[in-house]
Every structure is written in C-alpha cells, then in structure tokens.
Amino acid sequence: MSLKIAIPLADGQLCMHFGHCAQFAILEADPDTKSILSRVDKTPPPHEPGVLPAWLSKEGVKLVIAGGMGQRAQQLFQQQGVEVLVGAAAQSPESLVQAYLDGSLKGGENVCDH
C-alpha cells in the first residue's frame, strides 16, 4: 500500500514556514519496499486557517513533513487524519521522504512560534 507524503517547498527544499510556501511536493512512497514511486508539485489554494489540511487530505496525503507548524494547524491536520512531523531540516523532498522510510528521519524543534 502506498503512502502520500506532502512537503512544503521553497527553492526546491523544505520550506521552514509551513503556511508561507508557494508549492507542495506530494510524493507517493511504498513503505514496504522503502522506495519513492512518484512526485508531483502542486500549488496550494490561498492560505487561510483550515484550508491546507482539507486540501492535502483531499489529495490523499497521510503525512506532512514540516520544519515548523503552529499547534492549531497540527490539530486541524489530525482532524483530517493527516499525521504531522515537525522539526525537519531544509533538505530536498526526496531525501526527507527516504529518511522517513528508512526510519532515520527524526522530528526536532518546531521552528514555528505561533
């Protein structure tokens, strides 16, 4: 079974401020084979509270890897059935997803202050 993972982008790398990103990389991965199957970059709807969690959930996303995200946003994602991992470093989406699949991606300090 594949897993869809969304990563907010800035200049091709993870965007540290979740709500301010211009695009999301949505990667489909196979947790069993620990491989990335596909990647699509999508432009999100205008940022307002609750919009991104609903949009990403409709896209089939089950996990968001972020640098920082406010508590309220994290709660909204959980209500949509989307897991959130915060504190990731600014790396390429592929390297972040591969680290997640390998079990080596560790959440860190939430760099968001609201």
Nearest-5° Cα angle at 37, 52 to 103: 80
Q: Does residue 93 form part of some domain?
A: yes
Neighbours of 19 (CB within 10 A): 19
Domain containing 44 — which CATH number?
A: 3.30.420.130
Report the domain count for the chain. Answer: 1
* pTM beyond cutoff 0.85: yes
- Average pLDDT value for the chain: 90
Ranges 18-22, 23-27, 71-75, 102-106: which has the least confidence: 18-22
Q: How far apart are the first and last CA of the chain?
A: 35
> 38 near 28, Cβ under 8 Å?
yes
Ranges 42-46, 67-71, 107-111: which has the least confidence: 107-111
Give the pLDDT confidence score for residue 109 in this predicted structure.
Answer: 66
Please name the residues in contact with 64: beta carbons below 8 A apart, sequence gap of 6 or more: 5, 6, 7, 8, 18, 56, 77, 82, 83, 84, 85
Q: What is the domain range of residue 42?
A: 3-102
Given a cut of 90, is residue 1 above it in pLDDT?
no
Q: Does residue 113 form part of some domain?
A: no
How far is Cα 48 from Cα 108, in angstroms, rounded to an integer?
25
